[in-house]
Structure 1
Amino acid sequence: MNKKWWKESVVYQIYPRSFKDSNGDGIGDLKGIIEKLDYLKELGIDVIWLSPIYKSPNDDNGYDISDYRDIMDEFGSLEDFDVLLDEAHKRNIKIIMDLVVNHTSDEHRWFIESKKSVDNKFRDYYVWKNGKDGQPPNNWGSFFSGSTWEYDEETEMYYLHLFSKKQPDLNWENNEVRNSVYDMMKWWLDKGIDGFRMDVINMISKVQTFPDGPKEENASYGDIVPYAINGPRVHEFLKEMHKEVLSKYDIMTVGETPAVSPEDVLKYAGENEEELNMVFHFEHMDLGFGPEGKWSNLGFKLTELKGILTKWQKALENDGWNSLYWDNHDQPRAVSRFGNDKEYWLESAKMLGTCLHMMKGTPYIFQGEEIGMTNVAFDNIEDYRDIETLNSYEELVEKKGKNKEEMMQAIHDRSRDNARTPMQWDDSENAGFTLGEPWIKVNPNYININAKAQIDDKDSIFNYYKKLISIRKEYPIVVYGRYDLILEESEKIYAYTRTLDNEKLLVICNFTEKETLFQTPSDINTNSQKLIISNYDVFNHDLTNIVLRPYETRVYLLQI
C-alpha cells in the first residue's frame, strides 16, 4: 500500500469567475475566495483546485492565457494571490493551479512576436504551415467547431489551434518552448503552490506529418483525435517535465486526458512511470452522446455507467490512481444529470455523493455540488456565455437547420454554463454572489438552494458532504480498500464493496425514484455490521432484504 497525501485528500474545484465577487463588478475574484476559506475549512476539504486565474483576454474564460506570471485584472493581483495562498495554508488547505500549456492566447507576447515574420525567433514557438491550393494544411476540425487552422495574411501561412482561433497551439517539438514552460512551472511552485491540474495535457504532442483526419459522411471536417491526442512524443515530454520540475517538489499532479483507455492511463500515471499522479478520463461523461456529440443526449443505462466506473476501478487497482468526479466546469450539474433535481433533489444529491466518495480514488467536488446546485434553463441563447455552446448553436441551428427548441433543450441539459452560474451563497439578490450585475445570470432557484440555508441544517446536502469527507479521514478502507461491483446486471441499484484487511464496506445506491428490493449476496457476511452513513433514517438493519426508498443510499462497515 503506497500511501500518499494526495490519495487521502478531497479536492474542491473553484471556478473563480463564478465563486464570490468582493468588489461589486459582477465577476468573482481572489479576495472573494479568501472571504470563503472558512466555509471550505468547515466543509473539510484538503485541496483547492483553481481554474485559470492568469492574465487572459477571456475568449475561453481564462483558458486562453496572455501572461502566465500575472493575474487576470478582474480577479485581482499577484499580491492578492499571495494572501490567498498564505491564508489557505494557515487553514491546512493546499492550492493547485490550472496549467494550460497546450496553447496560449493569441495575445501572449510569444504569439505576437511569432506572427511578425517567418524569421522571428518566436516563430517556431507555434505550429505554422503553408496551405494547399488555397485551403488549410489539412482537414482537421476544431473542438470549438470550424477548422483548426487560421490564415494569417501578414505571413501568408496558417497557424494551428485545436480550440478557439484565439488559442494557438504551442509547438512542443521546440526545446525552448518546453524549457520556458518548465521555468514558469518552477516559478509558481517556488511561490508555494501545491501542484497542478494540467489542461488537455495529452494533446501537447501531434503527429508531425499532419495528415488528414478520418471524416464521416456529410461531416465538414476530419477527426483530429488520431493525430493530436496521445501523440508520439507525449510520454517523452511528460517524463522530461517530471525530471526537470515535478520530481523536485512534494506536489499533486492531475492531467486532463480526453480519449484515453485504462492502458493509456497506466502510462501517464503508473506508480513507476514518473509522469503524473492521476488523470481525468471522460468515459462516464460521454454517456448519451450521439451523432451531434453531447448535443444529442440519448440517455444511458445504469449498467453502462457501472460498467465504465468499474472498469476504471479494476484497471487501476494495483497501479495508478483514480480521479473521482461527477461535476466540473465543463460538465452539467450531476444532480440534474444522474439524479432527480425536482421531487428527489435532496435524496439523489446525497446518494450521488455517497456513490462517488466511497470509491477508490481522490474525490473532486465542484463548487456548489456540496449544496446540490442544479442545471439552469435560460430561455434565450443570448443569456449563455460559453463559447462552445454559442458556436454549437450557430453551427447546428443557424447553419445546419437543427430544430431550435431541441437545441435549447440540449443546451439546458449539457451546456458548460450549467456549471458556471454564480455560486449560491444565500437568498439575497444575486444569491449573495455580487452586489453588482453578475457576468452570467444566477440560477433562479437560489432562493431555495443556497449555502446559508444549509450550513446549520443537520439534514442538508452540505452537512452530508461534510460527513462523507470526515468518513474518508476516519476509515482507511475508504481510501485504500479494494473495489468490487455486486449486482452487475441491475438497472436500478449500484452496489459495491470495498475490502481492506479484515473489514469490508458495503455501499448501496438506488438510482431510481421507485422503491427497490436489495438482497445482499450470500457470500457477504453481514453478522457484524455498522451503518456509517445513509440519506434516510434507518430502523431495520436486516441486510437480507432491504426495501430501498427512492434514491436511498446506505454504507455499512462489516467485519470479515
Structure 2
Amino acid sequence: MNSDWYKNAIIYQVDTAYFFDANNDGIGDISGILKHLDYIRGLGANALWLTPFYLTPFRDDGYDVKDHLTVDPRFGDIADMVMLLEQAEEMGLRVIIELILQHTSSEHRWFQEARKDRHSPYRDYYIWADEPPENDDPPMFPGVEESVWSWDETAQQYYRHMFYHDEPDLNLACPAVINEIERVILYWLRLGVSGFRLDAASHLIKQAGKGDVKKGLGLLNHLRNFVAVRHPETILLGEVDVPPQQYSDYFGDNDRLHMLLSFSLNKAMFLSFAHKDARPLVKALDDIPTPPARACLANWLRNHDELDLAGLSPAERRDVIKEFGPEQDTHIYQRGLRRRLASMFENDTAKIAMAYSVLFSLPGTPVIRYGDEIGMSENLSLNERNAVRTPMQWDTTRNAGFSQAERDKLIAPVMVRGPNRYRLVNVSKSQIQNHSLLHLVSNMARTRLGCKEIGSGTHKIIDMKMPSLFAIRYDYDGDALLMITNLSDKKVQVELNEPEIMMLTELLADEEYAKSGLLKATDRFPVNGYGYRWFTLKYTRE
C-alpha cells in the first residue's frame, strides 16, 4: 500500500464533456476517456482528474449537480464508470473525481422539496433569509451575478448562492446534509476512486462554520477521518484560494486536506513569466508554510477556469494582462484572463516548455490540463470560462477526431481557424514530431516521476545572482537534485557557488549541452534563452 502516492504523481485533468465522444452524439463521454487512457498514461501521468459527470442541467459545465449518485446519460452510465475505474487501475492510473459540496443545481430534488414547504426536512439543506444580510460576500462572478442572494417565488424567501443563481448554497452546518455527503463519498469509494477534489473548498468551509472559517474547518477533519478509516490511500484535494499564510489551516496536522491547489504560486508564476524574473515566484514560495509530512501542494499552469489574478497588486495585474491578454475580450470577472497557455505564450514552443519546466520544478504535484500539452488555444467566441473548454484535438479528420457527429451537434465548436486550428495542432501530428511540445512535456513528466527527491525531500532556492533564473535544489535520503530554468530569452552562463557539490549529471535539458552529460561543480555552463537543465548532484557529506 502506498498511502503517499499523491506526493509523487503527475495529474492529468480531463473535462469529461470535451475529451472524446465514443458514441458520436457530439458530447464527450466516459467511454471516450476509457479509449484514451493509454494516451494519458503514455504522457507520463499516473493520476486522472475528471471534471463532473453527474446528472446535471449542464449550465455550469456539470458543476451544477442534480444528483451526485447518478451518471448523466450524456456521459454514459454507472457501468461505464466502473469500466473506466477498472481499466485505469490496471494501467496504474489513479482516478480523482469532483466532490461538489458547496452547492447543488436548483433542479436538485433537495432544493425542489425545500422550496415547496418551510416545514420540509429539506428546507434546512439550504441557506434562506426573509431579508438578505446587508454585508455578505460579493458574488463569485461579478458582472454576471449582482448578489449572492436571489428571491424564490415558490419559497417566498431569499436563498443564498455564492456562484450562479441556479446553484443554491448547501447548509453545511446541517447534520442531515453531512449524512448525505457521507453517502456520496461511500458510494464512490466502493466503486474505486482514489481521491476527491473539493470544489470551492474555502467557501464550503465558511458555510460549514456559518460564516466562521475556524469553526468550519472541522468539516475537513471529519471528511479526512471518514475516508481514512475506510480507504487510507484516498486523498482530499482542495480548491483553496486564500492567502498562503492560511494554508496551514487547511492542511491541519495531517488531518485535513492531503493536497491544496496553490493559487498563490499560480499567480506568482505568471507574474514571473511576464517580468522574465524569478523573484516573484521565489517570494511566493517563501510565503508558503511548509506542509505537514502527509500533505503537499498541487500546482498547475492553466485550469478549466479563468487565470485568476486577484491578489496581485494593480500594477502587477496590469503587467500580466499586458503581456498575456491585452485585448478586452480575453478579460473576465474583472480579475483575470480566459486564455489557454499556448496563445498566452504566442505559440512559442520554447516559451511553453520553459513554463512547464518551472511547473515540474515546484515543490508539490504538477497538474496538466488536457490539450495544453499539444498547444491548444481558447475560443473567445464562447461565453465566460467556456472559452477554455473546447473539444480535444486528436487528428485532422472530421471534428478534430473528437466526434463523428454533425458539427451543429457538438457540445462546443472545434477550432477551425487561427494558428491553433485542429489541422495544425493535434495529437497525431505531435506524436510524429520529435521536438513537438507533446514530446517535451511528456519527457519532463516521465523524468519528474522518477524524482522522488521532490515528493519526499526538502527544497531550497539557489540564488544564481541572475533574476531570470529559477533554480531549486531538492535533497532526500542522500540524493540531491538541481533544477534550473531560464525565464528570459537571453542565453546565460551559470556559475555554481555551492562548495559541497562535486559533480552534476544531466538529467533533462532543452537540448544536448554536453555529450557526456557530466559537469564539474566548478565549471561555468550555459542555459539557453527559455532553456532548462535538470541535474542529479554528487556532493560531499559532512
Query: Into which bin does the TM-score normalised by the smaller protein fall?
Result: 0.7 to 0.9
SS at match of 1:7: helix
Match of 2:141 in 1: 144
166-175 vs 538-547, which moves further: 538-547
Alignment of 1:115-514 (within 5 A): 115-131=115-131, 138-145=135-142, 146-206=146-206, 227=211, 231-249=213-231, 250-262=233-245, 264-270=246-252, 272-286=253-267, 302-303=277-278, 305-311=280-286, 315-316=290-291, 320-331=295-306, 332-337=339-344, 340-342=345-347, 345-373=348-376, 375-376=377-378, 378=380, 383-385=381-383, 389=384, 416-436=385-405, 437=407, 438-443=410-415, 444=417, 445=420, 446-487=422-463, 490-513=466-489
One-letter code aligned to 2:167? Q
Are residues 15 and 283 of structure 1, via their aligned partners in 2, closer, same or farther at CA, if it must alter by over 3 Å? Answer: same
Q: What is the rounded CA distance, in whole Å, between the counterparts of 2:39 and 2:68 in structure 1?
A: 29
Match of 2:332 in 1: none
One-letter code aligned to 1:427? T
One-letter code aligned to 1:282? F
1:520 CA displacement? 2.6
Q: What is the rounded CA distance, in whole Å, between the counterparts of 1:539 and 1:24 in structure 2?
A: 50
Match of 1:532 in 2: 507
1:188 CA displacement? 0.8
1:521 aligns with 2:496: yes
One-letter code aligned to 1:538? Y
1:140 CA displacement? 3.6
Are residues 425 and 503 of structure 1, via their aligned partners in 2, closer, same or farther at CA, if it must alter by over 3 Å? Answer: same
One-letter code aligned to 1:440? A
One-letter code aligned to 1:492? S
Are residues 157 and 3 of structure 1, via their aligned partners in 2, closer, same or farther at CA, if it must alter by over 3 Å? Answer: closer
SS at match of 1:369: coil
1:180 CA displacement? 0.8
Q: What is the rounded CA distance, in whole Å, between the counterparts of 1:85 and 1:492 in structure 2?
A: 43
One-letter code aligned to 2:261? F
Q: What is the rounded CA distance, in whole Å, between the counterparts of 1:281 and 1:130 in structure 2?
A: 37
**TM-score, structure 1 normalization:** 0.81
Deviation per CA, 1:21-46: give whole Å up to 9, x if none. 12223221111101101111222321
Q: What is the rounded CA distance, in whole Å, between the counterparts of 1:349 and 1:209 in structure 2?
A: 42
One-letter code aligned to 2:41? K
Q: What is the rounded CA distance, in whole Å, between the counterparts of 2:498 and 2:209 in structure 1?
A: 56
Contact persistence 2:247–2:289 (CA under 8 A): no
1:172 CA displacement? 0.8
Match of 1:549 in 2: 528
Q: What is the rounded CA distance, in whole Å, between the counterparts of 1:162 and 1:245 in structure 2?
A: 27
Q: What is the rounded CA distance, in whole Å, between the counterparts of 2:179 and 2:165 in structure 1?
A: 25
1:429 CA displacement? 3.3
Are residues 496 and 254 of structure 1, via their aligned partners in 2, closer, same or farther at CA, if it must alter by over 3 Å? Answer: same
Q: What is the rounded CA distance, in whole Å, between the counterparts of 2:449 and 2:270 in structure 1?
A: 36
Are residues 431 and 308 of structure 1, via their aligned partners in 2, closer, same or farther at CA, if it must alter by over 3 Å? Answer: farther
1:237 CA displacement? 1.2
Q: What is the rounded CA distance, in whole Å, between the counterparts of 2:364 and 2:239 in structure 1?
A: 15
Match of 2:329 in 1: none
Match of 1:102 in 2: 102
**TM-score, structure 2 normalization:** 0.83
Q: What is the rounded CA distance, in whole Å, between the counterparts of 1:524 and 1:110 in structure 2?
A: 65
Q: What is the rounded CA distance, in whole Å, between the counterparts of 1:319 and 1:243 in structure 2?
A: 14
Are residues 459 and 314 of structure 1, via their aligned partners in 2, closer, same or farther at CA, if it must alter by over 3 Å? Answer: farther
How many residues align? The count is: 491
Are residues 303 and 535 of structure 1, via their aligned partners in 2, closer, same or farther at CA, if it must alter by over 3 Å? Answer: closer
Q: What is the rounded CA distance, in whole Å, between the counterparts of 2:228 and 2:42 in structure 1?
A: 31
Q: What is the rounded CA distance, in whole Å, between the counterparts of 1:116 and 1:280 in structure 2?
A: 38
Are residues 336 and 526 of structure 1, via their aligned partners in 2, closer, same or farther at CA, if it must alter by over 3 Å? Answer: farther
Contact persistence 2:200–2:239 (CA under 8 A): yes
Structure with greater strand percent:
2
161-170 vs 315-324, which moves further: 315-324
1:470 CA displacement? 2.6
1:318 CA displacement? 5.8
Q: What is the rounded CA distance, in whole Å, between the counterparts of 1:306 and 1:8 in structure 2?
A: 22
1:435 CA displacement? 1.9
Contact persistence 1:114–1:122 (CA under 8 A): yes
Are residues 525 and 495 of structure 1, via their aligned partners in 2, closer, same or farther at CA, if it must alter by over 3 Å? Answer: same
SS at match of 1:302: coil
1:371 CA displacement? 2.0
Which structure 1 residue ranges, 5 or more long, are not aligned? Answer: 211-226, 291-297, 390-415
Match of 2:55 in 1: 55
Are residues 282 and 78 of structure 1, via their aligned partners in 2, closer, same or farther at CA, if it must alter by over 3 Å? Answer: same
SS at match of 2:8: coil
1:289 CA displacement? 11
1:155 CA displacement? 3.1
Deviation per CA, 1:370-427: give whole Å up to 9, x if none. 2233x3353xxxx313xxx2xxxxxxxxxxxxxxxxxxxxxxxxxx335312211112
Are residues 355 and 286 of structure 1, via their aligned partners in 2, closer, same or farther at CA, if it must alter by over 3 Å? Answer: closer
One-letter code aligned to 1:97? I
Q: What is the rounded CA distance, in whole Å, between the counterparts of 1:209 and 1:50 in structure 2?
A: 28
Are residues 117 and 97 of structure 1, via their aligned partners in 2, closer, same or farther at CA, if it must alter by over 3 Å? Answer: same
1:494 CA displacement? 1.6
Q: What is the rounded CA distance, in whole Å, between the counterparts of 2:215 and 2:297 in structure 1?
A: 24
1:158 CA displacement? 0.3
One-letter code aligned to 2:506? L
Are residues 455 and 525 of structure 1, via their aligned partners in 2, closer, same or farther at CA, if it must alter by over 3 Å? Answer: farther
Q: What is the rounded CA distance, in whole Å, between the counterparts of 1:333 and 1:489 in structure 2?
A: 32
Contact persistence 2:268–2:281 (CA under 8 A): no
Q: What is the rounded CA distance, in whole Å, between the counterparts of 1:533 and 1:140 in structure 2?
A: 47
SS at match of 2:238: strand
1:326 CA displacement? 1.3
1:236 CA displacement? 1.1
Contact persistence 1:312–1:322 (CA under 8 A): no
Q: What is the rounded CA distance, in whole Å, between the counterparts of 1:171 and 1:314 in structure 2?
A: 31
1:287 CA displacement? 5.3
Q: What is the rounded CA distance, in whole Å, between the counterparts of 1:11 and 1:287 in structure 2?
A: 21
Q: What is the rounded CA distance, in whole Å, between the counterparts of 1:432 and 1:313 in structure 2?
A: 42
Contact persistence 2:262–2:297 (CA under 8 A): no
SS at match of 1:31: helix
SS at match of 1:265: helix
SS at match of 1:245: helix
Contact persistence 1:111–1:126 (CA under 8 A): yes
